[in-house]
Amino acid sequence: MEVMGFGEKWRMWIRGFQQSTRSLVLLNGNLTAEFQLQRGLRQGDPLSPFLFILIMEGRYCAISCMYRVWCRIDSFSYLGPPVGQLMHRKLAWDSIFTRFRKKLSGWKSKMLSIEGRLNLVRSLLGNLGIYFLSMFRMPNSVCKDLERSKARFFWEGDDCQRFLHWVKWEMVLNDKKNVGLSIGSLESFNYSLLYKWHWRFLNSSNLLWVDLIKSCYGSDGGFCMASRSKPKKGVWLGIVNKVWDMHYRGLILFESICRRVGNGQSISFWNDVWCGDIILRARFLRLCVVASNVNALVSDYWDGMIGGFNGFGCLMSVRLSTSRDSWRWVIGDEDTYLVKETRLLLDRLSLPLVGVETRWNTWLPIKINIFIWRVVLNRLPTRDNLDRMGLDITSMLCPVCQQARESVNHLFFSCTVAFHLWLKVAKWVDLHIPSFSSWVDGLTTVWFKRLIMDSVCSTLLWVMWTFRNDILFGNKKMKKEVLFDSIVSFSINWYSDRNRKASIKWTDWLKNPNHKGAACFRDKPFPQFDNLYKIFGKDRVTGNGATDLGEEDRHKETHMLMWKGWNIIEETQQTARVNSKCKRPPFDDTDSSYKEAAKEMKDTFKEVGDKLTETIYNIGRQENKEAYDMIDKVIEDIQHMPNINTIGIFSKDKFRARSFYKITEE
């Protein structure tokens, strides 16, 4: 108001009016009663336009002041990211730090378990700045600070305090195939997002922004080495610089793309990778030297000399079409660029290579898997490890047995309590364990039993660890006699909660979790033995005895059951055509003999059907040979039963358990 020319007295009145919470009005020389001031103005209030002018005048004064000091352009935010700021400075990334602190401040270690912190770090914190990371190159200092915040939150749930980090964060970021937890680094995520712009630039040549980039930085968009002779600044050049920085470090992604031939009008015959893994100029150097036009396109040579290429085997599979030429991504199964696959590739190249796969059992909670991961790496806070970290420990003896130095191997395998637990578990699962630590190296058994045994062994280690912590820090001590009961209870609860298709009985699991009836995978409950077998009497039978069920399909599986000379065909979900020679035509389902035969089959197979419900595992033969041996024994029993002439089961994959199981469906 002073700049606009208002006097001091007027400005004093306005200042007093704004600083007071109560006011009154002078009406015809008389003062009214005081009233409380409130926020907001009604629509159409005459004071509203004046306030707008007052605010805009202040904004105009600020802009004029900036103009006088030669500050022509200031940064501003548009859809989140700042516009006009120098993104290579750490100050420009303050909004990302603010978001991180805002998310971490309300999640303390007492409110989230290690499982919740892992999910939060992997999903939420890793994607907070995805818009920033897809546009700007992240400075190394910003990347280190953000990774440090994630590491502190993961290990203790608090970003404001420092605690012991038992595993290097670079190892935690690694893929599960490389002894990590598949979190992924922000640097590789930033690079994979930025490189997608290069992929879009190559595959979207008809878009307006591509034409703008080409007009500013050349037809190659600045990705060519010759375009980097002059230092430049800007968002696009930041993307180009990031690509080349990774190129200098050995992370070369230019070799991961090649041309897909369409009409051949934009692909250089000698200088582009379009046939094989390298350019034809390097493969046929002598031919390239004598070529009349080294810069010729594929379409040029193809039109004039297509007959001369018949001798080249690498060109025989190439066919020109009317579609436009495009690019192909050679990493992974997809032909298009995927950020996830590129991020995994960069993590494998940049993060430390260990070569050991993380043991991860989907039948166990995530916190148990993380615990087993730390056991395998020997990164638990045992007294031996705490002493190695330089902490002052009053006693180095095992708190459970008080007989030896507490280490991971002693606590879980050599301690007297753990030793007797392993003996009970080995007797319970009916498995000979030559070395109690052999489960760490992997169990040499079928995958189904291996997962069960791994779940039971992991549960034992978890129960032993909680028992140890209860001795040191718990108020109510756990008894040694209930440890085995806890293993049985936890294992069946975790298994049943994470396997909806499993049919489990507590009594069978208590006897032996590897029992054939204790843990049986089923897509659905086994059917009742009423109207089991379908006799196709309505289908016409040709002169040679063939039963036509539809169009032929060689990829479908077929089941055929011979019953007293009758052809009884059980149609599976994908059966299309069955050809079989019949001794006599199939009878109609309205015939009384059909009911008699169905009743006789029901009575005959009732005993065998009870066996099937306990023995069939709905998995492949090679993965569960024991289950298939049981089925072969059942088939042999059926063949020796009275009143059965022949039984045959045929399938495209030679034999599958579910094929025989489907015969018993309605």
Q: Does residue 385 lie in a domain region?
A: yes
Segment 246-258, tens digit of pLDDT: 777 666 766 777 7
Element at 327 (helix H, strand E): strand 326-329
Among 68, 93, 120, residue at a domain's last position: 68
Whether 61 and 96 map to the same domain: the answer is no
Segment 205-246, tens digit of pLDDT: 788 888 888 888 887 777 765 555 444 567 888 888 887 777
Q: For the chain, give the longest Cα–Cα distance.
A: 122
Neighbours of 471 (CB within 10 A): 13
Q: Does residue 391 lie in a domain region?
A: yes
Q: Per-residue pLDDT averaged across 99-115, rounded? A: 72
Instruction: Kindly give, in sequence order, each residue whose CB lies less than 8 Å from that of residue 510, ignoring residues fewer than 6 positions away.
Output: 488
Q: Looking at residue 462, what is its pLDDT?
A: 92
Q: Does residue 25 lie in a domain region?
A: yes
Q: Looking at residue 311, what is its pLDDT?
A: 45
Q: Does residue 56 lie in a domain region?
A: yes
Whether 381 and 502 map to the same domain: the answer is yes
CA of residue 219 relative to chain centroid, distance: 37
pLDDT at 473 over 60: yes
Q: How many CA atoms lie within 13 A of 539 on its CB side?
A: 19
pLDDT at 563 over 70: no
Whether 127 and 157 map to the same domain: the answer is yes
Q: Does residue 342 lie in a domain region?
A: no
Question: What is residue 530's DSSP assignment?
Answer: S
Closest CA to 178 of 344, 372, 382: 344
Among 521, 551, 576, residue at a domain's last position: 521
Whether 137 and 60 map to the same domain: the answer is no
Q: Looking at residue 467, what is its pLDDT?
A: 92
What band does 616 get if pLDDT is binned at 50, 70 and 90? very low
* Vertex 443 angle, CA 442 and 447, to 5°: 110
Instruction: Identify whether the C-beta of residue 167 lies closer than 8 Å to the C-beta of residue 205.
Output: no
What band does 35 get if pLDDT is binned at 50, 70 and 90? confident
Q: Does residue 395 lie in a domain region?
A: yes
Whether 95 and 60 map to the same domain: the answer is no
Percentage above 90 pLDDT, the chain = 2
Among 463, 491, 521, residue at a domain's last position: 521
CA of residue 231 relative to chain centroid, distance: 40
Distance CA 456, CA 48 (A): 73
Segment 452-468, tens digit of pLDDT: 788 888 899 999 999 99
Q: Does residue 527 lie in a domain region?
A: no
Q: Looking at residue 107, what is its pLDDT?
A: 58
Segment 523-546, tens digit of pLDDT: 333 333 233 333 222 233 333 333
Whether 376 and 509 map to the same domain: the answer is yes
Q: Does residue 530 lie in a domain region?
A: no
Q: Per-residue pLDDT averaged across 618-632, rounded? A: 50
Segment 56-72, tens digit of pLDDT: 777 777 777 777 766 65
| Assigned token pair, 416 | 């007297």
Whether 381 and 475 map to the same domain: the answer is yes
The whole model's pTM is what? Answer: 0.62
Segment 38-96, tens digit of pLDDT: 777 666 667 667 777 777 777 777 777 777 766 656 666 766 677 777 777 888 888 88
pLDDT at 318 over 80: no
Range of the domain at 465: 366-521
Segment 548-562, tens digit of pLDDT: 333 333 333 333 333
Whether 406 and 486 map to the same domain: the answer is yes
* Vertex 541 angle, CA 538 and 544, to 5°: 170
Q: Looking at residue 503, what is its pLDDT?
A: 65
Question: How many structural domains comprise the chain?
Answer: 5
Whether 144 and 38 map to the same domain: the answer is no
What band does 564 get if pLDDT is binned at 50, 70 and 90? very low
